[in-house]
Chain A
Amino acid sequence: MTNNTRRHFLRRTASAMGLMGLERLGQMNALAQSGPSYKALVCVFLFGGNDGFNTVVPMDSAPYNAYKNIRGGLGLPSTSATLLPVTTTPGVQYGLNSGLQQVHPLWAQKKLAVIANMGLLVQPVSRAQYLANSVSLPTNLFSHSDQTTQMQSGVPSSGAGTGWAGRLADAVQAMNGASTFPSSVSISGPTLFCTGNAIQSASLIPGFDLSLSGMNLWPQSAGTAKKAGFQQMLTFHNGLTLVQQANKVMSDAMSLNSMLSGLGSGGGITTVFPGTSLGNQLKDVAKIIKLRNTTGMTRQVFFCSIGGFDTHGAQDWTHWDLLRNVSEAMRAFYDATVELGIPDQVTTFTASEFGRTLQPSGIGTDHGWGSHHLIMGGAVKGGEMYGTFPTYALAGPDDSGSRGALIPTTSTDQFGATLAKWFGVPAASMASVFPNIGNFGIQDLGFLA
């Protein structure tokens, strides 16, 4: 059988199952399973603009002194946050914010790396070019709404109706074969990040297993009849393609509901997650990954988020607490991928609309640009600092102005393209995911095996 007739065969078999169509999705894809092994990308978006400069601190004496001089009272170590030492292979010393205690051991295990001073760029920009406004720049730098949209769309030079995760999923759509489970899934409400041109993005709400309301009637037989009627109607075909498609989406929802509820109360995951919003989101990601053999998906992108990083004031304790929250959830998620036996097939990374100014304003920081971010997973060539670590100097070579809103030394496009290559996006399709990638020389930053 060719692939195509095989799919047709499966489709016919599935529709012949009639009311058993509830399990349609699962059975179909269990049969259809073949091809590439599973891979997932998981974005943990830090809304508000994370202060990467207090997330990872250079510890060699010259850069540390530069950092401490500029940061003053906000510089680490401080009373609320000390630093957890890490060393790169060449022997450069850094300190992780002590809020990152849970993921800290992964550095030594080579499962955790940092990308330095990454951010949105249309093309490489020097300080002189920036000040002369002589090259294309992201529009509305330092604006939350604009930079959040751009960081999710991955197109800082113009607007876009799709996100880079969605376009990533578009580019590898063929790898998912006939599976109809959405390949680009937000666990944090519908997002631009997950919207694609061809694939249908989806969102999941942590803890919501897509159960229908209003089905618990007395006597129980009434509820059963009502639900049976609802499900039966999904099988009717009145000849209209759009009606059929609407019924298909709801049938998929019912299949997903039975899969999710079938996992039981713990979601079939033994690893204990923190009971935080981000913990619950990442636990849901682990559940969906656990279902990969049932859904038949081989490539999935996930979006999770946590807010509160716009630390204009009271930063020290707040920031430590936010990072603790992130690291506890991320570590539990890593452990869950080990439990599921696929730590090398899941790569998790943080992103944020921008970084913050090196120079504090009182006991907080203002909107910046480039920032350091975490990359975690078994495929990560961990224990290293990737990209180019910037010079910490106000009005220095990497400063866009005089307050230390640093011009990124690595673009989001380069970072994303490295993830995309690992994910299986062919080089020829890279520009469809990151339209500006051609403006940058290096497209693989080398942090993934």
Chain B
Amino acid sequence: MAVYHQTANVERGASRQFTAYVPLSPNTIYWLVNDVPGGNSTVGTVSSTGVYTAPAAVPAMNVVTLKAQSTAYPDKFATATITVTQPVPWVWSTYPTSVTAGPISVSVNGSAFQPGAVASINGVAMPTTYVSTTKVMISGTFSTAGTFPVRVTNTGNGAVTSQPVNITVAAGNPPPTPTPTPTPSPTPTPTPAPTPTPAPGGATTRIDAGRFLEQAAFGPRPAEILSVQQGGLQAWLNTQFALPESPLVLPSPDPSQMAAMRSWWLWLNTHAPDQLRQKVAYALGEIWVVSSNKNNYPQEILPWLKVLSRNAFGNYKDIIREMTVSPSMGKFLDLARSSKPGVGSGANENYPRELMQLFTIGLQKLNMDGSVVLGANGQPVPTYTQEDVKQLALALTGWVYYQNQWENFTADMEPREQNHDTSAKSFLGCNLPAGQTTTQDLDGVVNCLFQHPNLPPFVAVRMIRFLAHSNPSPAYVQRVANVFVNNGSGVRGDMKAVVQAILLDTEARQDTPTPTYGKLREPLLHYINLVRALNGSVTQNNGLPYLFVNMGQSILTTPSVFSWFSPLFRIPQTAIYGPEFQIYSPTEAVLRTNLISDTISGQYNGYITLDLSPFTAVAGDTTQLINAVDQALLYGRMSATMRNTLATAINAMPDNNSRVQTALYLTATSGEYLVMH
């Protein structure tokens, strides 16, 4: 049995038709709301024909379950989830359309405003006076110049925020000295106070649940949105923390086939129950890079993947240590057989350098909020010198493959004392005495890097960019870095606490984006997100990975240790960070769009199965079809302009199949979907 729509938002007092699919005989059913036959005035009522009418007031628990129960078979039923909201407000215009920074008075015109409605400028709630359902007045102080979105929120339980219109705020007096070329400020745009969201302990909105799963997982599956909506974010996190780790194995039947491992990777991340662990491992793997462009065989890659997965909720200190002795990394960056001067080719500096630059502390000294420390000359202060690299390289000499074989990937590397340099070393302000063993020097290196003041903001900035969004405010970075320093129980480097701090932060949870908010989905995330949103599946031996090569994101195969794209890449000619834009140029954009088109139209049906039934069920009704696509991909946030465009295109289609495909294609390739926000 099934109920369509499986999920819906209904404004308080409004009605909506639901349909039950009952492949039973007899097919008689009755309807319940929150298990009350016919419902009641608190949770809403449902007619015998499936018309649900929301209660006049939004209930305290505003997510209700609509159930179609078979009269003949007590164990047969199907449910839908309904979110009861305040009426959706619309903003048409402001008057005036531009103001001068300072005390302002603006009227906001639109429709469906409710008493208690609050207007915001750029996400900052402003003192608002309710005038009528079509007008509210802002009078307050707004002191930043620029062009900003104005929105109106109908507050209260089930609060809903309008789409924005822009207002221009001119600089106030005194006028700034005109500068010939405005140089973009290198500091991230400060993020205004976030919109309050429900406490992470309890139920949440569909938007929040969907957004959360884009950050914490490889995108939501429909059922997961519901479960997060009902149980809340913390409950989902707790479940995920407790799940067993997905097995990471060599491909079969031929374990030497890298192509098979790439296709397995796509399958794993589409289907793994331990989504949070795999997502965090993926993010960590964009910091700690190993690539099959050098480690050509799956067995040379697997140990690296295992360190990432095993320690996703572990301690960063263990990651530093385990990566250093991993045979995967030993091969990729040549620590294997790095020896004291005079033995072999001597101390290899490749890993020691990248260990500092890319994996732990970076090139420039950082403040706890991620900003760069400037020296007396106004320039960034380097974190290390070439001498530090040399000393670190000496400290890390002596590691060879297991049993000192030519290459061996079945166990960690092991120390070989006759290859180890036993002189005293000094680097980054840390000192290792002479005469230490290979392992003792490793401990010294790990401790030194782990205690380095750059490590907390270094990890915070990267993990926020890879999981949540590209332009975190300094305050957000600092909050996460503080948790890295101390998880609340005095433990430094606890990644479980760091991940939780990133995902539950008010800035990650603000459902009303500020202008610099968001993260461009990279090709792999975009694709897996879409497949999961359409409740799809991928075969384990699929022929899809090659499609990502020309999009700049070959699976398990970055071009270098610098990964597919830099976490420090900015949108050209701006100060705005957009790491994923480094691999988003015209060809890559069209290839991605075409892959989505080909996938939706079924060209990869041997590899991919999508469940389009929620859309085909309403294919004939343009509004319902748009609603269904909006709910599935944008959690009900599709803009009015986009809805209109979609409607025009859908209505030009000759049949239901192409109506569904067009609706999905235009939404899945839209800027609103490309940038998770």
> Which residue numbers of A lie inside 8 Å of B, CB to CB?
2, 4, 133, 139-140, 143, 145-146, 149, 153, 158-161, 182, 189-192, 195, 198-205, 208, 210-214, 217-219, 221-222, 224-226, 228-230, 232-234, 236, 238-247, 249-250, 252-253, 256-257
B379 within 8 Å of A (CB atoms): no
Residues of chain A within 8 A of B590, CB atoms compared: 210-212, 250, 253, 257
CB <8 Å contact, A246 and B560: no
Residues of chain A within 8 A of B519, CB atoms compared: 242
Most buried by B among A198, A244, A250: A250
Complex CA–CA separation, A241 to B593 (angstroms): 20
Residues of chain A within 8 A of B600, CB atoms compared: 214
CB <8 Å contact, B586 and A233: no
19 A-B pairs whose Cβ atoms sit less than 8 Å apart in the complex: A4-B181, A139-B334, A159-B354, A200-B584, A201-B582, A205-B550, A212-B593, A214-B661, A222-B652, A226-B653, A239-B515, A240-B515, A241-B574, A242-B571, A243-B518, A246-B675, A249-B585, A250-B590, A253-B589
Question: Contact partner of B671 among A146, A149, A244, CB < 8 A?
Answer: A244
CB <8 Å contact, B560 and A149: yes
Question: Contact partner of B652 among A158, A226, A247, CB < 8 A?
Answer: A226
The answer to whether A225 and B671 touch (CB under 8 A), given A159-B350, A213-B594, A238-B639, is: no
Residue of B nearest to A153 (CB): B560
Minimum distance in angstroms from B667 CB to a CB of chain A = 9
B597 within 8 Å of A (CB atoms): yes
B662 within 8 Å of A (CB atoms): yes
> Which residue numbers of B lie inside 8 Å of A, CB to CB?
148-149, 163-164, 166, 180-181, 293-294, 334, 341, 345-346, 348-350, 353-354, 357-358, 470, 513, 515-520, 549-552, 559-563, 566, 570-574, 576, 578, 581-590, 593-594, 597-598, 600-601, 639, 641-642, 645-646, 648-649, 652-654, 658, 661-662, 665-666, 669-672, 674-675, 677
CB <8 Å contact, A233 and B675: no
CB <8 Å contact, B562 and A161: yes
The answer to whether A202 and B585 touch (CB under 8 A), given A158-B353, A239-B515, A253-B590, is: yes
CB <8 Å contact, A243 and B559: no
CB <8 Å contact, A243 and B677: yes
CB <8 Å contact, A139 and B350: yes
CB <8 Å contact, B549 and A189: yes
CB <8 Å contact, A210 and B586: yes
Question: Contact partner of B571 among A191, A245, A256, CB < 8 A?
Answer: A245
Question: Contact partner of A200 among B334, B354, B560, B572, CB < 8 A?
Answer: B572
Most buried by A among B341, B552, B559, B570: B559
Residue of B nearest to A244 (CB): B671
Residues of chain A within 8 A of B560, CB atoms compared: 149, 153, 159-161, 192
The answer to whether A239 and B164 touch (CB under 8 A), given A153-B560, A161-B566, A190-B552, is: yes
The answer to whether A225 and B654 touch (CB under 8 A), given A189-B549, A192-B559, is: no
Minimum distance in angstroms from A31 CB to a CB of chain B = 19
Residues of chain A within 8 A of B593, CB atoms compared: 212-213, 250
Residue of A nearest to B670 (CB): A233
Complex CA–CA separation, A229 to B653 (angstroms): 12
The answer to whether A228 and B649 touch (CB under 8 A), given A190-B559, A219-B654, A242-B576, is: yes
Residue of A nearest to B165 (CB): A239
The answer to whether A232 and B674 touch (CB under 8 A), given A159-B560, A161-B562, is: no
Complex CA–CA separation, A408 to B520 (angstroms): 43
Residues of chain A within 8 A of B181, CB atoms compared: 4
Complex CA–CA separation, A245 to B471 (angstroms): 14
CB <8 Å contact, B674 and A243: yes
Complex CA–CA separation, A41 to B672 (angstroms): 37
Residues of chain A within 8 A of B601, CB atoms compared: 214
Residues of chain B within 8 A of A133, CB atoms compared: 341, 345-346
CB <8 Å contact, B666 and A233: yes
Residues of chain A within 8 A of B549, CB atoms compared: 189
Minimum distance in angstroms from A187 CB to a CB of chain B = 10
Minimum distance in angstroms from A310 CB to a CB of chain B = 14
CB <8 Å contact, B571 and A213: no
Residues of chain A within 8 A of B654, CB atoms compared: 217-219, 222
CB <8 Å contact, B598 and A240: no
Minimum distance in angstroms from B70 CB to a CB of chain A = 41
CB <8 Å contact, B180 and A229: no
> Which 4 pairs, one residue from A and one from B, show the smallest C-beta to C-beta distance?
A161-B562, A225-B652, A229-B649, A253-B586
CB <8 Å contact, A256 and B586: yes
CB <8 Å contact, B164 and A233: no
Residue of B nearest to A230 (CB): B666
Complex CA–CA separation, A333 to B515 (angstroms): 46
Minimum distance in angstroms from B145 CB to a CB of chain A = 16
Minimum distance in angstroms from B354 CB to a CB of chain A = 6
CB <8 Å contact, A202 and B658: no
CB <8 Å contact, B587 and A249: no
Complex CA–CA separation, A229 to B560 (angstroms): 39
Complex CA–CA separation, A177 to B648 (angstroms): 38
Complex CA–CA separation, A130 to B550 (angstroms): 39
Complex CA–CA separation, A200 to B401 (angstroms): 40
CB <8 Å contact, B578 and A242: yes
Minimum distance in angstroms from A234 CB to a CB of chain B = 7
Residues of chain B within 8 A of A256, CB atoms compared: 586
CB <8 Å contact, B578 and A249: no
The answer to whether A252 and B586 touch (CB under 8 A), given A4-B180, A229-B645, A233-B645, is: yes
CB <8 Å contact, A233 and B671: yes
Complex CA–CA separation, A224 to B675 (angstroms): 26
Residue of A nearest to B552 (CB): A190
Residues of chain A within 8 A of B570, CB atoms compared: 198
Complex CA–CA separation, A158 to B646 (angstroms): 50
Minimum distance in angstroms from B191 CB to a CB of chain A = 13
Question: Contact partner of A249 among B584, B666, B669, CB < 8 A?
Answer: B584
Residues of chain A within 8 A of B559, CB atoms compared: 149, 190-192
Question: Contact partner of B588 among A190, A212, A236, CB < 8 A?
Answer: A190
Residues of chain A within 8 A of B563, CB atoms compared: 161
Residue of B nearest to A149 (CB): B560
Question: Contact partner of A221 among B149, B180, B652, CB < 8 A?
Answer: B652
CB <8 Å contact, B518 and A242: yes
Question: Contact partner of B516 among A4, A210, A217, A241, CB < 8 A?
Answer: A241
Residue of B nearest to A160 (CB): B562
Minimum distance in angstroms from A307 CB to a CB of chain B = 14
Taking A222-B652, A246-B589 as known contacts, 10 extra A-B pairs with beta carbons closer than 8 A to each other, sorted by chain A number, are A4-B181, A160-B560, A203-B550, A210-B587, A229-B645, A229-B662, A239-B166, A245-B578, A249-B586, A253-B586
CB <8 Å contact, A242 and B677: yes
Complex CA–CA separation, A149 to B559 (angstroms): 8
The answer to whether A230 and B572 touch (CB under 8 A), given A159-B353, A195-B582, is: no
Most buried by B among A159, A191, A210: A159
Residues of chain A within 8 A of B576, CB atoms compared: 241-242, 245
Complex CA–CA separation, A370 to B586 (angstroms): 36
Complex CA–CA separation, A212 to B591 (angstroms): 8
Question: Contact partner of A213 among B293, B513, B582, B597, CB < 8 A?
Answer: B597
Residues of chain A within 8 A of B584, CB atoms compared: 200, 246, 249
Residue of B nearest to A217 (CB): B658
CB <8 Å contact, B589 and A250: yes
Residue of A nearest to B603 (CB): A213
Complex CA–CA separation, A244 to B597 (angstroms): 22
Question: Contact partner of B334 among A140, A218, A225, A226, CB < 8 A?
Answer: A140
Residue of B nearest to A159 (CB): B561
Question: Contact partner of B587 among A205, A222, A225, CB < 8 A?
Answer: A205
Question: Contact partner of B180 among A2, A214, A234, A241, CB < 8 A?
Answer: A2
Complex CA–CA separation, A182 to B470 (angstroms): 23
Residues of chain A within 8 A of B583, CB atoms compared: 190
CB <8 Å contact, B587 and A208: yes
Complex CA–CA separation, A241 to B516 (angstroms): 6
Complex CA–CA separation, A199 to B341 (angstroms): 41
Complex CA–CA separation, A210 to B662 (angstroms): 19
Residues of chain A within 8 A of B581, CB atoms compared: 200, 242, 245-246, 249
The answer to whether A189 and B550 touch (CB under 8 A), given A159-B350, A161-B562, A243-B518, is: yes
